[in-house]
Structure 1
Amino acid sequence: MDGRLEQRFKVRIYRISGRGWGEYFDWRAVPVLKSG
């Protein structure tokens, strides 16, 4: 359900600014990738 929204949210975060991407990737991509 939120998988689609979360994907767009995390993608937008890293897209908004390359710097934020690294940070979001640590607390968002890590768990998201682990979950699937």
Structure 2
Amino acid sequence: DPITLLKDRMLNNNLSNVDELKEIDVEVRKEIEEA
């Protein structure tokens, strides 16, 4: 899954943290439900 690979790369390279990624995921799911 490309999204999982991107998340792993971001975490491994300290470009993001788990909390930030969870927050993004929640926002994306909310936007999808509204569509």
> Larger % of helix: which?
1
Query: TM-score band, normalised by the shorter chain?
Result: 0.3 to 0.5
TM-score (norm 1): 0.42
| Greater C-alpha Rg | 2
